[in-house]
A and B are shown apart, each in its own frame.
Chain A
């Protein structure tokens, strides 16, 4: 095979595979150009009817040619063949052909076109539910599969601060950049191709007397020399609140960069998208956009066909025909829908043997896997038609500016303008004049000024497009006139949507799936909108395509998340005892960001049996647990007590030094957000401890109220969570054991320490604070020490014969006692609901208490916390089960918030939030758990299942 000549091609040969077939390509090829060069025209099957499809476009507007790249679990699906650079050894597979692309069983759907119309799925698969059919339908109709493994590409993120960001490096983008850069403004230019130039690449154009390519190279050189940053291979994917998002895809896929560009001004020089025309079988392989054929020829030296017919509604067709002829492609005919075409265009082509037809249209193409002929019909007389043999039909229905075809523009957010073809400018001279003016305007926004660069350019003349969107066809034939190739939406579907009452294009879009594909309807939205207007009998000038949504082009989730994944997104917090737990066989579990020991392997093979064993042992012979994750906020200052009085449901000001008290903290709306203890260290010093998952939130809550109401008072607040490790020791003999192991100065203090009191002393030269309190409901002490003393303290406890227990056991112990956990304080429960009315009487002026007087909180149906057990004293029930009354099983009366097997009571016990009126009616209750197939008759009890009077905890 001889080397092809094209502006993007290198000389190196590449090997690649398509559906297992080894093929060769040249460096610089895209997947699509390589396939075309190898004579492959059938590259995909369509999503709904499994019709054969080829390559339509030469850029990201491609609707058909989506392929899977790679082989293993990390293969990337839905890659656009027309805009993806091929590299050596690439393994490319077609999608949605089963069992093979050439012989597709599901193509029988093609004969069901009349059935699979718009809204078919919505209307048909209703019984028993859509979920029943969805997996089958997804298998048949869907794009490629999502990768199951991560290929972990390195995604870097770069923030760029600049004056002007310009999207698009075609003629307009380059001249705008040049004008702006010459004033001294800072400019960043984003170009999706590997080099700038856009359509100048293949248009017969000259600027300032130079051939286009030379002008491009000179301009890029000057831009670089002026410090303009040119990001090639970079796609604009979004524009949002004062920043642009762009993704850089280098030639090799092992790294990519997401740029966030903050600019004072943005210029969209993103050009225009060539539009197809709807005719019968316009989706067959061999039908291609005219501009794409030119591009494949100029950049990749590819002849898209041997015998070509051009079909369109503008003058550019004739320039294209000439360039194709010059490139060695045989052009059979040019079919123009316009009645009048200037003779100048026609004469030269006729002389070269090209048939030129005016006021004619291609009615249909023939050939299933590849076009082999087209039927051309006169627009004056529908009965006059002729058949022309050809293997390729190039179609062009004009252009739609990317701006109007829906790019989300946020002009009101920051200075942002379209220029060039994106602003509707045409031809080249006008594009250059307009764009250089916009470049100067943007520079002024950044505080620079100058004169617009003026140029003399010649290129293709203005095309003189006359709207023509759909060829004549009968209503039955409209089922073969495709509007959205990616979603198999036809003219008949649009007509049906309109017949069913949809008028607005946004509604038609949603009903028919017009333009909802990965291409965002680049070649479908504007066409569909224009055809819909025609069907509605409205003038074409009103055509407004449906809106696109971000991202403007498909990007991987990895590109969005960047390096912030895993622990870089959510760092792991470890307590000072973490390594000790692991060394002692703990199974660690994450709770929020913290890692905590769930259970110790030596106590059982699974969490539930180990947890029960650990809890039973703690009640019998004592134990200890790591409580370092407890949130600790130190509040200090002359007004600390008064401040705490206002944010906590207790009176900190009445607390004596060395004493602590239980408190709950309310949100402004009266809901309980956390509970904990307040310890008074000194007259002006307090520590508030709260459950681990609330520390951050609570600190913010406290800071808010300090700033809001107490900013002129003397209060300092510090989160000291990590400054203190904490070990909770529980058990009947804990006092004796602590006295023995801590030695002299502690013996006496421990002996007289009352429940909820604490003292501070030095142990082995380090601070140790001992608080008598227990979340396990036993005689217990919390040892608060500095982090580096925690491990040696732990070893002492082990030496004294105490064993550690994990959070699984803690959950058993606290549920037996009816203490509150996160599932009870769920942000929707008031102190009344949780049985904390007594707390409320202690401090009625606390934040949140005012709104507790609302009537709804006192309705008899309001759910309240209550203890539950199985009616038979044996059966199991689990947290999350719904509670229903046996006389009204269809209505939820509440749910189980906590459920554990209690070793102390030898049965399942739990806490539940249940409708008070249902409880007081005495009706029998069921815990229904259909997901886990449990149904348990339950009875209600007091929340405290074990030792309700707290004798064990308060024992002397």
Chain B
């Protein structure tokens, strides 16, 4: 799986570390941690380019095909 890092370009997923699924906007503290949106087609996830530029990313992925749909910096996405 390739993740297109906004700083480093497309890199192998080995370089990234997954944190968790991003809670939908407006979730309370509990759902921020434990709430799970479990959709087959789109999963919005938090990844860090841990073995690269360290950037925190919001990655939209199709979990049934492992296709990466979009990559954005977490920085631009404030709840």
Contact = CB atoms under 8 A, between A and B. Distances in A.
Given A412-B65, A413-B66, A700-B50, A707 B56 contact: yes
Given A241-B1, A412-B65, A704-B48, A709 B32 contact: no
A711 B78 contact: yes
Interface in A704-756: 704, 707-709, 711-712
B65 A707 contact: no
A711 B77 CA distance: 9
B19 interface: yes
B8 interface: no
Interface in B28-57: 29-30, 32-34, 46, 48, 50, 54-56
B29 A704 contact: no
Contacts of B75: 707, 711
A413 B62 CA distance: 10
Judged by DSSP, the binding face of B is mixed
Contacts of A700: 17, 48, 50, 54
A707 B32 contact: no
Interface in B10-26: 17, 19
Given A413-B65, A413-B66, A704 B78 contact: no
Interface in A689-714: 699-700, 703-704, 707-709, 711-712
Nearest to A719: B54
Contacts of B46: 704
B69 interface: no
A386 B68 CA distance: 65
Contact of B66 (A241, A668, A669, A851): A241
A699 to B, nearest CB: 8
A850 interface: yes
Nearest to A850: B29
A410 to B, nearest CB: 9
Interface residues of B, number: 25
A707 B1 CA distance: 24
B13 to A, nearest CB: 8
Nearest to A667: B33
B56 A669 contact: no
Contact of A669 (B17, B33, B50, B78): B33
Contact of B56 (A242, A412, A704, A712): A704
B19 A704 contact: yes
Contact of B78 (A703, A708, A850): A708
B65 A703 contact: no
B59 to A, nearest CB: 14
Nearest to A262: B2
A242 B66 CA distance: 9
A289 to B, nearest CB: 38
A703 B54 contact: yes
B9 interface: no
A224 to B, nearest CB: 29
B29 A707 contact: no
Contacts of B74: 704, 707-708, 711
A711 B56 CA distance: 11
A668 B33 contact: yes
B71 interface: no
A708 B56 contact: yes
Interface string A924-953: 000000000000000000000000000000
B48 A703 contact: yes
Interface in A345-393: none
Contacts of A850: 29
Contacts of A412: 64-65
Interface in A866-893: none
Interface in A669-695: 669
A626 B19 CA distance: 33
B78 A709 contact: yes
Contacts of A707: 55-56, 73-75
Contacts of B1: 241-242
A238 to B, nearest CB: 15
Contacts of A669: 33-34
19 contacts: A241-B66, A242-B2, A412-B64, A412-B65, A413-B66, A668-B29, A668-B32, A700-B50, A704-B19, A704-B46, A704-B48, A704-B56, A704-B74, A707-B75, A708-B74, A711-B74, A711-B75, A711-B76, A851-B29
Given A241-B66, A703-B48, 4 more contacts: A704-B74, A707-B56, A711-B74, A851-B33
